[in-house]
Amino acid sequence: MNNRAIIAIPSSIAVAVAYINQNACHGIRADHVAKEMGYASERDFNRNYKAVTGRTPGEAILRRQLQEARRLLSNTEFSLAFIAGSCGFPSLRIFSRVFRAAEAWSPSAFRRKTKSCAFSPN
């Protein structure tokens, strides 16, 4: 591999990271990101992405979706179904299952917990 190829990988992955951060909640998948980034092989993209970031594109997408879900649960009164859809989950059931696995709290329990921890004047 020549030096030019080595330099190109991190910049293409940086673009992929930005793309994932902007579009994770729009139902994208790793194969879609690989195509958008011009990779002929999803496997090559996944390997390069993980080598640079330490996680797979799928893990990065899910991490960003959950980050947005936590923000919406903590700062809004939107329904759980609305939050699930806004974060790119195909259903409330799947959102709840994935959220609980990641946070050890259901979305509604997480919301209650974050609301009760908010500063309230005496």
Total number of domains constituting the chain: 2
pLDDT in tens for each of the 122 residues of the chain? 444 544 445 788 999 999 999 999 999 999 999 999 999 999 999 999 999 999 999 999 999 999 999 999 999 999 999 999 999 999 999 999 999 999 999 999 999 999 887 655 54
Same domain (yes/no): 56, 23: yes
Q: What domain range is 16 assigned to?
A: 3-60
Same domain (yes/no): 45, 79: no
Sign of the Cα torsion 51, 58, 20, 43 reads positive
User: Which CATH number belongs to the domain containing residue 111 in this structure?
Assistant: 1.10.10.60
At 116 the pLDDT is 83
In Å, how far are 76, 89, 117 from 36, measured between CA atoms? 32, 21, 41
At 11 the pLDDT is 84
Same domain (yes/no): 16, 32: yes
Same domain (yes/no): 100, 54: no
Distance, in Å, from the CA atom of 27 to the CA atom of 90, rounded to the nearest integer, reads: 8
Q: By the 8 A CB rule, do 100 and 106 touch?
A: yes
